[in-house]
Chains A and B, each alone.
Chain A
């Protein structure tokens, strides 16, 4: 039964990675950049929820909405101020380094505002624990909510991208930015929209992450962010189902690594997965093989 219990923990953690990875994969697919600051937006979202509940005394639902709105605005602002001016830069490196700078900036602002010591996160999601097989398997409420949220988000995004006009615009921009522009797609607002969705999802990921692992520091988002990027690469960057499956697989690998090998080297195992994937199938599980042209 412990196997199933670990599997359930893995899927729960993996669902969080999947939600974060969706943000990475959409931004990468459309803006062709690795948004290093994405993980730190998660941290900002979690801090906003914590502050809204403990300091401002808002209701949980209201603070979640507030966090999603603030993170969306933050994502759009970051894109407009830091990334947009560099979109036509001659070097790909420029925007990558700027993204690292933004990540660093968010961490250090949080450090100044909230301090370095770990805060314990409040219980926001109150769903009763499910007990199965005469108490042999218990599933916490947060686990159920996390997995459900992940499935809903994934289905919603797939529908949005495939069925709506802005979704088609996103697909067009990710295929060929210049051609999309010629067809009348507003590239700037499409990229802004992508950042908005990704950052809004990051706020939800922050809530789920901190509900499952209730300690919050300014560096909380960094490591899950990087792992989620690994998940996005694993599933094939630019692909929505890929991010989902990659995220869940990675979560399961991490929890199994922790349980059966060693808790200290679990991170090393996760990153080794990345290197192996890049060696064997660089485009990931669902990625498209794109040839670079002159």
Chain B
């Protein structure tokens, strides 16, 4: 056992700690729920917590490792959510629930990834600020378009239109997407496996972590971080900046799509208004508070920031305000050169004291 630990590299040890942490939290929650110590309110929060965790970890890939700011994370979640809910509704009668859910997750991820590529190609050649504003624009475009989109199904196949009447469904056909009303009843299609959704969520978190951590520590991952640290230097040693930024962006989009799938299948009502700019900002707050580029931090920050305000109800009026202050304070504290100098001086002093004590 001791030998194994020695032979393990520092990064893989770090990775395993993160997996272990997620599994440990899962076991604790399961134990609490089995002994009846978990209130209904808390139980209802578990799956959304998984959704936000996946979203935060995937956003951290873009913000933390490729050094770009994406404000359209909610847009990718939205695309994943709608495409997968559509799939689930269409194949509700033809496929059993487990393979249907797996396919739905894959489809949500794939569609979000396609959108990631489409958005990424024009924008990633430009400077970072543009990416922020374009991803924001993308989120709004998606919201706008889905808001007017009606999809129905009958024996002739799928019908897509921009109004309810425009669908021209044959008798016996059903409307699935109803514009601003969204898609309803996705969760009821999975009644039989509803109790396992938290388990599925945790598995998806682990898969997300597996993908992101392995990517980050791979050759491609090092190329991605090099484009963040110095774009020009990276280009000069033959790294294709666009390619690697696009890679990180697309994978992040796909994983956000997975978060959207989980969200859509846990709810009976899927509405596009959920996936607004504020959701993207919320996920960004989790990432910033947990530490940009720190995956474990993202998970911990999500749990604390998501669960605490829900538990302390009276706090909720000031919740967003406090998020905003926390966001600004964290950025100033972590990134301002003056704050950094101050911190390193304090640390030096502490170390100096310890050395003096050791000497004495």
Contacts and interface: CB of A to CB of B under 8 A. Distances in A.
B321 A108 contact: yes
A262 interface: yes
B140 A34 contact: no
Given A96-B129, A233-B133, A278-B134, A104 B323 contact: yes
A45 B68 CA distance: 32
Contact of A100 (B130, B317, B327): B327
B335 A89 contact: yes
A2 interface: no
Interface string B120-164: 001101111110111011101100110110000000000000100
A75 B270 CA distance: 39
B63 A93 contact: yes
Nearest to B123: A278
A85 interface: yes
B339 interface: yes
Given A85-B338, A86-B336, A265-B144, A226 B327 contact: no
Interface in B79-135: 119, 122-123, 125-130, 132-134
Contacts, number: 132
Nearest to A272: B141
Contact of B335 (A94, A100, A265): A94
A274 B325 contact: no
Nearest to A268: B144
Task: Give the contact-size bracket for chain A.
Answer: 35 or more
Given A34-B132, A104-B281, A282 B126 contact: yes
Nearest to B129: A34
Nearest to A109: B321
B27 to A, nearest CB: 34
A271 B317 contact: no
Given A268-B140, A272-B141, A98 B328 contact: yes
Contact of A97 (B69, B123, B138): B69
A264 B337 CA distance: 45
Nearest to A274: B137
Contacts of B126: 278, 282
A264 B147 contact: yes
A97 B63 CA distance: 10
B277 interface: yes
Contacts of A282: 125-126, 130
A93 B69 contact: yes
B67 interface: yes
B332 interface: yes
Interface of B: 63, 67-69, 71, 119, 122-123, 125-130, 132-134, 136-138, 140-141, 144-145, 147-148, 162, 231-232, 277, 281, 284, 288, 292, 317-318, 320-321, 323-325, 327-328, 331-332, 334-339
